[in-house]
Homo-oligomer: A and B are copies of this chain.
């Protein structure tokens, strides 16, 4: 059964026979290499017409097997559950296709083993490039790929063995913190330190954001309380639990907070609603990430939106130009306030 339908698939030999020419001519025409081979435009047109009529689809496996480069490009991404990674993937796909590259994307759910396995699978499919997005261990991926002659670029989280494009986490956090401190000061009529919630203290982005968070406090001559820096992971539940535990421990929480992602913010808002810790007087919040519904929440929330288009421009700049210096490009995120 299945054999029959597959057996029908036309090859360039079938087309050659129908056109009364050779497979190599068909190949050249269908790849647009026919000026180099100086095939008559008559023959070219005929071949194209026949390919069309026959519903011919090239066999990319055969093509890739024979070729030097596959024109397949892989991307590893941690999650599809937020706007940030969603827009990265969507734009990546479009930009890859614009360049005649075939994108292959794998979601690894922040699991280091899955990341490695995904990279291995991509190598087996002969990808020319791997973009490791938000990878927990980018250098291991780079090394694995390098051993197979596959280049890599890191996105969102930096590595040291290949070029990286990330947000300017320090500067972004600095400015976001300034805005929230400012909002707090206006509301309370005095300077007051904020708390920090969410992210992994071990990852580059979180530690840079904490650095920016501290710097903004120092600028106005106050020092954030180190016990109020809760790098408790990204999951909403973690943020919720941490806040609960902290509130039980120290009583009253600061009136403003820096939240490290929309994912963590989910837990934060839930806790605020459930605990009623703040009563009517909602806290001032700054969120290092953007979501359109957050903008409608009705809390006092400042956001920064990571500049995905610029980041991907930088990624493809590296790819298009074959750059492999292990440098770090930092892209400034964009300020967003509630409407």
Contact = CB atoms under 8 A, between A and B. Distances in A.
Nearest to A102: B121
Count the copies: 2
A221 B20 CA distance: 73
A297 B293 contact: yes
A55 B126 contact: no
Nearest to A144: B55
Given A89-B107, A236-B292, A294-B293, A120 B57 contact: yes
A314 to B, nearest CB: 20
A6 B148 CA distance: 7
A269 interface: yes
Interface in A258-295: 262, 266, 269-270, 273-274, 291-294
B293 A125 contact: no
A22 interface: no
A293 B266 contact: yes
B93 A107 contact: yes
Contact of A65 (B62, B87, B103, B106): B62
A124 interface: yes
Interface in A87-118: 87, 89-90, 93, 102-107, 109
A262 to B, nearest CB: 8
A152 B291 CA distance: 34
A59 B5 contact: no
A123 B60 CA distance: 9
Contacts of A292: 236, 266
A80 B90 contact: yes
Nearest to A81: B86
A318 B212 CA distance: 52
Given A55-B147, A81-B90, A296 B297 contact: yes
B80 A107 contact: no
Nearest to A67: B61
A274 B262 CA distance: 23
A2 interface: yes
Contacts of A236: 292
Given A2-B149, A149-B5, A270 B339 contact: yes
